[in-house]
Amino acid sequence: MILLEGRSALVTGAANGIGRAIAERLAAEGARVAAVDIEDVPDLGPSVQALRWDLAETESLEGLLDAAEAAVGPLDVLVNNAGVFEPALAIDLTLASYRRVLAVNLHAPVFLASRAARGMIERGYGRIVNITSVHGRFGEELALSYDVAKGGLEQATRTLAVELSRHGVLVNAVAPGFVSTRMSVVDGKDELESEWFTDIYVKHGKIPIRRYAMPEEIAEHVAWLGSERNTYTTGQVLTVDGGLTVTF
């Protein structure tokens, strides 16, 4: 079963972690992929074109779409995956950090969706998938700007779906829980290998599946939501967290 034969896709944050797994998966499903990152994207095969771009430069995002479409053709699929997390207590939050986190995690996805949707509407087909987080619904210490951005992106997913679905453009979000990427490394320590993670989340079953996820397990759902096999799901947040958010 090939999900994306002949389709063109843009994936942000494709140099590492979940975005890289998504770019690889979409290419394996037959798509031509523009793989965007502020860092060098490794060689992910002949159907993946790397594009170096700083998504925090909100004014430049229409230029990014032009460059992506020049590389892979008119876009059928947009995956807003790039994200940054900058830990700070609420009382210590700096304006520069708040602006950066909001620019990458919220403003870029919203403007890329807005502008990519114009061409998708003209062609009568499109799929937009936003990568949010369980932080879209739950708060955590040190995560004010990240939580604000992810909550905003989940609401953007719903409102975009309300406006775009009638034109054949379906918009959804995938909200991961704990995933093994460099984002789980805080101050040089991988929190997924810590004693507290093993104790609370694994041994005591706060994550019912009793392990963290691998990036490919998130990409699996993005590939389906981003394909024409998805005909009737729009405006939804698919939580892929091993059951984390159904326990207390």
Ligand X SMILES: NC(=O)c1ccc[n+]([C@@H]2O[C@H](COP(=O)([O-])OP(=O)(O)OC[C@H]3O[C@@H](n4cnc5c(N)ncnc54)[C@H](O)[C@@H]3O)[C@@H](O)[C@H]2O)c1
Alpha-carbon distances of 125 from 51, 78, 120, 156, 193, rounded to whole Å: 24, 12, 5, 19, 43
**Among residues 20 and 127, whose Cβ is nearest to ligand X?**
20
Q: 194 burial class (0-12, 13-18, 19+ CB within 10 angstroms)?
A: middle
Of the residues 51, 65, 72, 82, which one makes contact with ligand X according to CB under 6 A: 82
**Among residues 32 and 107, whose Cβ is nearest to ligand X?**
107
37 binds ligand X (CB under 6 A): yes
**Among residues 49 and 81, whose Cβ is nearest to ligand X?**
81
- Least distance (Å) between residue 199 CB and ligand X: 18
56 binds ligand X (CB under 6 A): yes
Rounded Cα distance between 247 and 56, Å, is 35
114 binds ligand X (CB under 6 A): no
234 binds ligand X (CB under 6 A): no
**Among residues 28 and 38, whose Cβ is nearest to ligand X?**
38
Residues of this chain, 179-208, that bind ligand X according to CB under 6 A:
179, 181-184
Identify the H or E element spanning 70: helix 61-72
Rounded Cα distance between 82 and 53, Å, is 11
* 146 flagged as catalytic: yes
CB 225 within 8 A of CB 129: yes
Q: Can you give the length of the chain in residues?
A: 248
For residue 189, count other CB atoms closer than 10 A to its CB.
Answer: 10
**Among residues 10 and 15, whose Cβ is nearest to ligand X?**
15
Q: Which stretch binds ligand X (CB under 6 A): 1-9, 137-145, 163-171, 175-183?
A: 175-183
68 binds ligand X (CB under 6 A): no
Looking at 146, 201, 212, 232, which residue is catalytic? 146
- Least distance (Å) between residue 125 CB and ligand X: 25
Closest CA to 173 of 191, 192, 149, 208: 149
Closest CA to 171 of 239, 108, 110: 110
- Least distance (Å) between residue 154 CB and ligand X: 12
Residues of this chain, 129-158, that bind ligand X according to CB under 6 A:
131, 133
Report residue 248 as tokens: 């207390």
Name residue, tokens 């040089």: 188
Site residues, ligand X (CB under 6 A): 13, 15-19, 37-39, 53-56, 81-84, 104, 131, 133, 176, 178-179, 181-184
Which active-site residues does the annotation give? 146
